[in-house]
Amino acid sequence: MSRMAIRYTPEDCAHLLSAVRTQQPLIQCLTNAVVTNFTANVLLALGAAPAMVDIPGEAAEFAPVASGVLVNLGTPTQSQRAAMVEAAEAARAAGTPWVLDPVAVGALSVRTAAARTLADLGPAIIRGNASEIMALAGAGTGGRGVDSTDTPAAAEAAARSLATATGAAVAVSGARDLVFGADGTGVGIANGHVLLTRVTGGGCALGAVMAAFLAVTPDAVLAAAAATGTYTVAAERAARLASGPGSFAVALLDELAAVAPGDVAAALRLQALAPAALQQQGAL
């Protein structure tokens, strides 16, 4: 824990999990073909309701009805890219909060251009691995496919810059997850398990979980931190029951359904991150 007073507490995050379970937000997912089923099951296990509405025309109709929207660029067909822009524009007009997950941006031109267009349409949260966040911020060229070749710590300056430029909370996933707000707020989450990297959709589904938490609070930084915290605490519990990636994937769904707000409050390890100006002054 840093010497800064932390703005958010594990109890704040636990309270949001209770709200998700009570309100059962309807989450529109425009996501990639590889992870659609897993993402839907993660939302159902958590207590939210998934809706995989991702074709032009319908995407714009549904976004104002949804409680939150996920836009994930994992397999961006031409039709889906058009639907994503429609959904983002409709969500912005209706005040529906949405999450952008810029999968594998940087080296691949089509998705990189699409991500930059979408980033200008007002996402409340941008979530990615370190290489993706750095590339979207113009500070890197991307990772190894969907895998990061950079650490969250290396992406901190880029993430802060991206948050300032877009007004979004920027969440960097990795061994230690980081969330930054446009106001300089920074939160570290020190939970999780390496088996999350061995399951297809482990990161992509987190974007949907963030959309569910966004639906129950106007505070995007808290939503991103609480979603990450709940997800990674459940992952730690699942890893204790698993013998490998296959059993872990099943156990993760079970633990997302079983984890209680009190479990999150007890197990979550949050860290306050100093504003960039204080870091430069050596205040910590």
- Tell me the angle at which helices 220-241 and 202-214 cross, rounded to the nearest 10 degrees: 140
Q: DSSP state, 197?
A: G
**In 128-244, alpha helices (H):** 130-136, 156-166, 202-214, 220-241
52 among annotated binding-site residues: yes
Residue 141 CB neighbours (<10 A): 12
Written as six digits, the tokens of 172 are 């960097």
Written as six digits, the tokens of 224 are 């991103």
Q: How far apart are CA 58 and CA 73, in angstroms?
A: 18
Written as six digits, the tokens of 160 are 């802060």
Q: How far apart are CA 139 and CA 13, in angstroms?
A: 31
Q: Which amino acid is at 7?
A: R
201 among annotated binding-site residues: yes
Written as six digits, the tokens of 14 are 């636990």
> Binding site: residue ranges?
52, 127, 173, 201
Q: Which residues sit in the known binding site for ATP? A: 127, 173
Residues contributing to the annotated binding site for substrate: 52, 201
